[in-house]
Amino acid sequence: MSRTRASQVALPDLRGRTALVTGASDGVGVEIARGLAGAGADLVLPVRNRGKGARAIDAIRDGAPDIRVSLRDLDLARLASVDALAAALRAEGTPLDIVVLNAGIVLLGDPERHVSSDGFELHFQTNFLGHFALTTALLPLLQEHGTRVVVQLSLAAAIARPDWNDLQSERRYSPLRAYGASKAALGLFAYELARRSAAEGWGISVQLSHPGVVPDTGIAPAMRARQRSDAGRRLAQRLGNTPAQAAQPALRAAVTDAVALTARPGFFGPSGMMHFGGAAEALRPYRRLADPAAGARMWAVAEKLLRDRADTVRA
């Protein structure tokens, strides 16, 4: 499907609702925030770079001049930053109606394995562990307000799987492998969050989405550089959706009614060939992410990693 033909999701009136979107300073994230603001939602935008965040807010206000926006600090690669944001939101009692876990990195073209200041492989922490820490730290707030949590995955999660003996790619590393594994971990967490909410009566609903291929973001140059032929580079440029179109699956996930808070989240992505691009539609979930044993195991692993890290900091 042509990148110009993907339709926009019709959003309901979101006035009086508050949405938090991670990774909203550029790319697909800012378009998700723009769509929610256009429907009247107030925004909480946690960003790593305040300058980029301020510019993103200016761009959003071009179409929604009356929106209320709270710009916050968040670096998912620093657990102290995650803890500080969660503590502030809990203390304020900020009513979060929608939370979109969108931020992520993929270091295509860089063969070096990078580690965060907390000691975790960078894809693993930024894409998964940081979001896990933020969401679980906010659970009392999310339960209080019956929050809709939208988890932004990737096409890579359809084929990737965590290596339980090498979750942080210490033995075998490539950026695409580490990225895919981190997104698979995030998907397992999303399903486990839905299961726990349904079993414990938390009132949190969970939906999943993926944007397809988005050539006009930071990932694209490295992808195109890997193409050896001119035809391959042109094809990579044409694949998928624009950032605004790629935001539509997450927006649809944010407003489509979940099935009565069940342990089976909805899943939305592009409708075109191989789900690279096209209008947002409901898709068949990636089956391996719905494995309850793997979901519970990933949750337990993440909790232990966070506890061990906290013990190390206290020591």
> Which residues are designated catalytic?
179
Give CA–CA dist 191/293, Å, rounded: 11
Strand order in the sheet with 18-21: 69-73, 42-47, 18-21, 98-101, 148-152, 205-209, 266-270, 280-282
**What are the Cα distances from residue 287, in Å, to 92, 160, 217, 291, 302?**
38, 12, 28, 7, 21
Token pair for residue 313?
Answer: 């900091």
Residue 116: which residues within 8 A CB-CB, separation 6 or more?
A: 77, 78, 122, 125, 126
Could you give the residue ranges of the DSSP H alpha helices within 21-49? 27-38
Task: Write down the residue that tokens 């975790």 correspond to.
Answer: 120
- How far apart CA 169 and CA 155 sit, in angstroms, is 20
Decide: helix, strand or coil at residue 30: helix
- Contact between 32 and 56 under an 8 Å Cβ cutoff? The reply is no
Give the three-state DSSP class for 173.
coil
Q: Tell me how far apart the alpha carbons of residues 84 and 46 are, in angstroms, rounded to a whole number.
A: 11
**Structure tokens, 143:** 């339960």
Q: Which of 71, 88, 98 is nearest to 17 (CA)?
A: 98
Measured distance CA(221)–CA(202) in Å, rounded: 42
Amino acid at 1: M
